[in-house]
C-alpha cells in the first residue's frame, strides 16, 4: 500500500539504508562524472573546430547512442538477475549465467551497429543533417569510431555485473584511466596544441577507440583479481538453461525496445532542432553534453538504488524493498529541488568551455540549461523510477510503456510540430521536451505505487 506523501517525507532516517547506498553510489557517481567530463571535453575540443564540426559529431553520435542503449538494456537485464542471485546467498553460478547470456546478446548488437556505422554511414548522415559539410564530417567520424563498438560490448557487461554484486570501485578506476587517456590525446591533437599537428575529428574518434581498449583490458585484469563472481577465467562462462534464456529475454526485450525507441525519439529531437539551423544543432548537442553532467547524481542514485533494492528482493525482503524505494524517491526529490538554483546560477560557468560557438548557439544553449534547471527534480524522479525501482524487480514492461509512451505520445509530437510546422524559436521548441518529463513523473509514481515491480525473480 502506498504510504502517503506525508509519511514518505517524514520517514525516520535508516542508517543501514544510507550506508549501503553511499557504498554503492559514490564510486558510481564518480564514474558517471568522469564519463560526463569525457563527453564535455570531447565536445569542447571538437567545438573548437567550429559549429559544423560540433554539429556533425553530435549528429553522428546519435547512432552510438542507439547502440549504447542496446548495451545498456542487455547489461541492465543481466545486472537485475545478477543482483538477485547475489542477494540469494551469493549464488556465484547464477551470476555467471547472467554474465554469459548478457555477453552473447551484446555481441549481436555490436555486429549490427558496426555494420550500420561502417557500411551505411553516408546514408545515415543524409537522414541526420541537411548540411553537406556536417554530413561529410559526421560520416568520417563514424567510419573510425565504430571500431570501438565491440570493445564496449564486452566492457559494459563486465562493469554491470561487477556493480551488481557490490564491486563498484573497479569499474570506476577503469573509467578514470580510459577517460584520462582519451582527454590527454584529444587535448593536444584535435586542435594541434603543444607543437603537435592539428588532426581534427579523425583523432577524436581514434582516441575513443584506444580508450575503449584500455578500459576493457583493465576490467579484465580487475575481474580476475576480484575473487568474486567474475575472476576473468573461462569458468565465468556458465551455460544458462533454456528457461533462464527465455526469462532473460522476457526482461531484456522490453528494456531493449524501450531504450532503442527512446534513443530513436531523442534522434527525432535532434533532427527537429537541426531543422532550425546549424547554430541550433550545435546548441542542442552542447545541452546534451552538459545535461549528462547535470544528471550525474540522479543516474547514480537510480542505478545504486536499483541494485540495493534488487538485493533485498533476492533475499525475499519484500517489505524492506518497498520501503527503500520510497526512501530513494524522497532523497532524489529533495536533491533535485536543492540543485535547481545551483544550476541556474552556474549556467554561464558551464558554457565557458565553448567560446568558439556563435552567439546564437550560446544563447540557445543557455535557454535550454535554464529550462532544464527548473525540471531537474522531475528528471531525477524519472531516472530513479524507470532505471532503478521498476527494473529492480523485473517490471521492465511497465518501465518501457511509460518511457516510450510519454516520449512518443507527448514529447515527439509537441517538439516536431513546434520546430517543423510552427517554426518556433529554439527555447520554445526545447520547452516541449520538458513537458514530457513532467507528465512522466505522475505516471511513473502511479506505477511504483502498484508494487508490480516488487517480485523475486530467482
CB contact burial 385-421 (16+ within 10 A = b; e otherwise): bbbbbbbbbbbbbbbbebbbbbbbebbbebbbebbee
In order along its 458 residues, the chain shows pLDDT tens digits of 455 555 555 667 778 888 888 888 887 777 677 766 666 666 667 767 777 787 788 778 878 878 888 898 899 889 888 888 888 878 888 889 899 999 999 999 999 999 999 999 999 999 888 788 889 999 999 999 999 999 999 999 999 999 888 887 888 889 889 988 988 898 888 877 777 788 888 998 899 999 999 999 999 998 887 766 787 666 677 788 888 888 888 878 877 777 778 778 888 888 888 888 878 888 887 887 787 778 888 888 888 888 888 888 888 888 888 888 998 998 999 899 999 999 899 888 888 877 777 888 888 888 989 999 999 999 999 988 988 898 787 787 888 889 888 999 999 999 999 988 888 999 899 999 899 999 999 999 999 988 888 887 77
In this structure, what are the phi and psi dihedrals at residue 452, rounded to the nearest 5 degrees?
-70, -20
CA distance 142 to 130: 17
Burial of 423 (0-12, 13-18, 19+ CB in 10 A): exposed
The secondary structure element, H or E, covering residue 417 is none
Tell me the C-alpha to C-alpha distance, in Å, between residue 78 and each of 72, 81, 134, 186, 249: 10, 5, 37, 33, 10
Please give the backbone phi and psi of residue 200, each rounded to the nearest 5 degrees, phi first: 65, -145
Give the whole-angstrom CA distance, residue 308 versus residue 268.
Answer: 35
Handedness of CA 301, 304, 309, 312 (dihedral sign): negative
Q: Please tell me the pTM assigned to this model.
A: 0.70
Give me 31's grid cell: 564514474
Domain residue ranges of the chain, discontinuous segments joined by +: 5-450
Torsion of CA 202, 203, 208, 214, to 10 degrees: 140
Amino acid at each position: 500500500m502506498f504510504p502517503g506523501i506525508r509519511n514518505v517525507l517524514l520517514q525516520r532516517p535508516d542508517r543501514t539504508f544510507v550506508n549501503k547506498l553511499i557504498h554503492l553510489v559514490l564510486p558510481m557517481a564518480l564514474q558517471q562524472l568522469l564519463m560526463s567530463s569525457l563527453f564535455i571535453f570531447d565536445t569542447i575540443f571538437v567545438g573548437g573546430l567550429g559549429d559544423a564540426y560540433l554539429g556533425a559529431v553530435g549528429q553522428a553520435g546519435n547512432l552510438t547512442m542507439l547502440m549504447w542503449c542496446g548495451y545498456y538494456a542487455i547489461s541492465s537485464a543481466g545486472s537485475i538477475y545478477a543482483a538477485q542471485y547475489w542477494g540469494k546467498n551469493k549464488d556465484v553460478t547464477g551470476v555467471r549465467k547472467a554474465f554469459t547470456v548478457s555477453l552473447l546478446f551484446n555481441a549481436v548488437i555490436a555486429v549490427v551497429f558496426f555494420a550500420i556505422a561502417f557500411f551505411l554511414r553516408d546514408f545515415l548522415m543524409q537522414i541526420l543533417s541537411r548540411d553537406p559539410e556536417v554530413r561529410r564530417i559526421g560520416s568520417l567520424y563514424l567510419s573510425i569510431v565504430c571500431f570501438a563498438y565491440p570493445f564496449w560490448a564486452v566492457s559494459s557487461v563486465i562493469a554491470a555485473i561487477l556493480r551488481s554484486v557490490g564491486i563498484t570501485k573497479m569499474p570506476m578506476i577503469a573509467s578514470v584511466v580510459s577517460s584520462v587517456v582519451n582527454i590527454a590525446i584529444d587535448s593536444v591533437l584535435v586542435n594541434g596544441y603543444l607543437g603537435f599537428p592539428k588532426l581534427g575529428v579523425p583523432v577524436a574518434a581514434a582516441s575513443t577507440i584506444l580508450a575503449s581498449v584500455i578500459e576493457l583490458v583493465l576490467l579484465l585484469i580487475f575481474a580476475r583479481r576480484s575473487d568474486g563472481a567474475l575472476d576473468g577465467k573461462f569458468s565465468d562462462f556458465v551455460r544458462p538453461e533454456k528457461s533462464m534464456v527465455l526469462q532473460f529475454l522476457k526482461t531484456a526485450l522490453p528494456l531493449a525496445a524501450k531504450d532503442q525507441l527512446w534513443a530513436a525519439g531523442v534522434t527525432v529531437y535532434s533532427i527537429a532542432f537541426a531543422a532550425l539551423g546549424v547554430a541550433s544543432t550545435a546548441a542542442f548537442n552542447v545541452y546534451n553534453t552538459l545535461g549528462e553532467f547535470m544528471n550525474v547524481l540522479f543516474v547514480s542514485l537510480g542505478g545504486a538504488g536499483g541494485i540495493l533494492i534488487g538485493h533485498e528482493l533476492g533475499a525475499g525482503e519484500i517489505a524492506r524493498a518497498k520501503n527503500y524505494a520510497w526512501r530513494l524517491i524522497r532523497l532524489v526529490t529533495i536533491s533535485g529541488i536543492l540543485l535547481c538554483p545551483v544550476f541556474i546560477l552556474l549556467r554561464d560557468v558551464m558554457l565557458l568551455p565553448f567560446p568558439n560557438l556563435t552567439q546564437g548557439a550560446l544563447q540557445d544553449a543557455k535557454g535550454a540549461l535554464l529550462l532544464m534547471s527548473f525540471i531537474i527534480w522531475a528528471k531525477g524522479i524519472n531516472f530513479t523510477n524507470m532505471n532503478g525501482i521498476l527494473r529492480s524487480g523485473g517490471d521492465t514492461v511497465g518501465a518501457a510503456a511509460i518511457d516510450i509512451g510519454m516520449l512518443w505520445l507527448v514529447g515527439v509530437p509537441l517538439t516536431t510540430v513546434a520546430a517543423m510546422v510552427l517554426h518556433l524559436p529554439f527555447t520554445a521548441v526545447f520547452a516541449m521536451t520538458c513537458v514530457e518529463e513532467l507528465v512522466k513523473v505522475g505516471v511513473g509514481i502511479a506505477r511504483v505505487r502498484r508494487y508490480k515491480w516488487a517480485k523475486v525473480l530467482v
